[in-house]
Structure 1
């Protein structure tokens, strides 16, 4: 048997050699697979924790930069439309939800009572003008009469002096002297009376008889009353104070409206802003002028750019009808919210924004938190090692490899996000 086997082997030496060569490759493949699996395990054991550590560090440094809230709403000026005078409605020119322009007539009140007042006060103004002209004429007459009486006093004074001289010489009777003295006293008294009358007339003229009637206080007062009546007549036509949309319109012809009573609303559409109610803990690094991104729930595919315009000086609770009384015994700490006003940048192709719409706001504070020195050093070492490992694995051109390389080149200053 052994002899036969040897003979067969000798006869077929090529067959034996080929079987030995065929058994070698599987062992090599198995060895390579074991080495590859070990290398993958080693790489994953290093790379996965490194990536997790880098992701955690990146989130810590950049996580506090953006302040986001869904407690934000579109705001606009809402004007309560009312009449400045009381009256009955005779014409209504707008409907509910109708856009209007500034100055457009909204409704009319009955003008007849106000036209009667205008006519009445116009007549009173003309009457004041006539009376002032009459006072001016009376004053001129009083001045002329006073001058005539003074001239008569001078004449009687000369007669009295002659009678006094004749009496001293014994050439005049006592009766003539007394009569001359009496006439002089009466004339002087009449001069005083006439001057007092002229002064009273002058006082009624405002102290200046040369002033025209239009400048007299009495005439100006009457004219002011007339002008007020004209303004009330003009107020019977109620106009839109600004451009906007009519809302809550229920006014009908024939209704009686009171002065100052809110009848319906006008929502202005020229100026729209967003009011975000941020938690007080979110305001640490929020300042005026910072950029924000807005997403309106009604238009989830649209984005608006805005900026922080104003920050309220107090929390919303301070303006409520019943402010919280924290001095009581039962006190629970509640995070307060502060209204922040955001000015929307012009957007020509944007859909219309309506007051009350819900908005998601994201404010870029441009602030990045810093790791402690030891953590930053460890973080930089991990990123550098991961970058070298990625380069060794041929992943340098991948997104992860570019990010790691950019971070390592920038020295861990957080600018790795700029790498493409």
Structure 2
């Protein structure tokens, strides 16, 4: 199914149009001005963990080049920017003294973007936990919830009134499952019980932080961002159907049920058995704080198979440089399902984009595949809106090529090309299309 390409006029006047980044992926300056190390700084030092052996020490040099990047954002014509704060940059140990030099960086960034009419959507935790807290158990340690709440409250106290929204965590599934169960992301632990305890503590700290930030009297919208996908059975066999239901539980319902219903799905808890998280009295009520918005990061759909892994190439659809199937209608299906099952007040597409191999030729990057991807997913967002889903924004991932976690610098998601040797930024054709789309008042 393909959707007709809408124009900007087909969306409400107050629709949020943005680009997104995260601190560790673009800032560099990994120990500048008093910043402490994060779990990703440590993880990058482990041989074989990052595909190209790289790290985030320099990245896009955004910490130094932020004025140029602010101008890039403004020139695109977006009305919003989603970014994250580096917790170890503003509190090196995750507890104790604040680092004023770190706060000053974000103060300048917020001022400059606000002066250009760009609304700021802040993520408090986009994976770069202070290493000092990981040394005490990280997200598997309940004490981290209290540390995160203090950090969130301080950020909200300083900046909350200047922000369009505050997101507590970005993709807790990734942090917990890839980081604590599979070990392929920081902090590189392989323990299902620790992973599930991390899931619970991430959700608990979200609720605690929202309570504390609202306790300041802030009216800034608050929410959380989840990576979600429709789950399809690889076949109609009873085994594959059961596996798809379980995977949906582990990836979507575990988080959505906790946030919107105040409970974990019983089939998932039964499956986890002794690895299920330890939950204290009152925890679930704390997690289920009223949300002003739910952020949805969507890249592809998933298949579940009780036997061999599903080969997405067999669908006949295009596959990105990450090996992910291009399936725009999955975004429509997902948004409609969330609306039907959970009735979020507001849904935002907080990340959507694709990695492809770009060819830089005579100053031009003709990334037709990425352009098509963004255009078709904007159309899929519009299709959900037409069906009554309260989707109020779309953020393209990402503003520019950056450090793509365990893939290093080999995978490029940016609308803007970055030459990592010279740090030159060049708008790709996808960026020029987005700019043109947004200019159609």
Structure with greater Cα Rg: 1
Identify the TM-score tier after normalising by the shorter chain: under 0.3
Instruction: Give TM-score scaled by structure 1 length.
Output: 0.15
Q: Which has the higher contact order (CA 8 A, sep 6+)?
A: 1
Larger fraction in strand: 1
Larger fraction in helix: 1
